[in-house]
Amino acid sequence: VANGTEFKYTERDVMLYNLGIGAKRTDLRYIFEGNDEFQVIPTFGVIPPFDAELPYNLDDLVPNFSPMMLLHGEQYLEVRKYPIPTAARLISKGKLLEVVDKGNAAVVKSGITTVNAETGEELFYNEMTVFLRGCGGFGGQKKPANRGASTAANKPPIRLPDVVVEEKTTEEQAALYRLSGDYNPLHVDPSFAKMGGFKQPILHGLCFFGIAGKAVYEKFGPFKNIKVRFAGTVMPGQTLVTEMWKEGNKVIFQTKVKETGKLAIGGAAAELVEGEGKL
The residues that touch ligand HDC, with contacts defined as CB under 6 A, are 71-74, 102, 107, 110, 128-131, 182, 184, 186, 202, 204-205, 229-233
205 catalytic, yes or no?
Answer: yes
| Residue (130 or 216) nearer to ligand HDC, CB | 130
Annotated catalytic residue: which of 187, 204, 265, 267? 187
How many Å from the N-terminal Cα to the C-terminal Cα in the chain?
43
Options 21, 47, 112, 202, the catalytic residue: 202
To ligand HDC, the closest distance from the beta carbon of 140 in angstroms equals 12
Residue among 196, 205, 213, 267 flagged as catalytic: 205
In the chain, DSSP assigns E strands to 5-9, 70-79, 88-101, 105-116, 122-133, 163-168, 223-230, 239-247, 250-257, 263-272
Q: What are phi and psi of 102, to 5 degrees?
A: -95, 15
When the beta carbons of 219 and 227 are compared against ligand HDC, the nearer one is: 227
The question of whether 91 is a catalytic residue gets the answer no
Tell me if residue 140 is catalytic: no
**Do residues 255 and 208 make contact, with C-beta atoms less than 8 angstroms apart?**
yes
Q: Please, what is the minimum distance in Å from the beta carbon of residue 132 to ligand HDC?
A: 10
Q: CB nearer to ligand HDC: give 15 or 107.
A: 107
Contacts of 127 (CB under 8 A, 6+ apart): 74, 75, 76, 97, 109, 110, 111, 112, 147, 150
Q: Residue 33: beta bridge partners?
A: none
**How near is the Cβ of 233 to ligand HDC at its closest, in Å?**
4
Would you call 72 a catalytic residue per the annotation? Answer: no
Smallest distance, ligand HDC to C-beta of residue 221, A = 27
CB 162 within 8 A of CB 244: yes
Residues recognised as catalytic: 182, 187, 202, 205
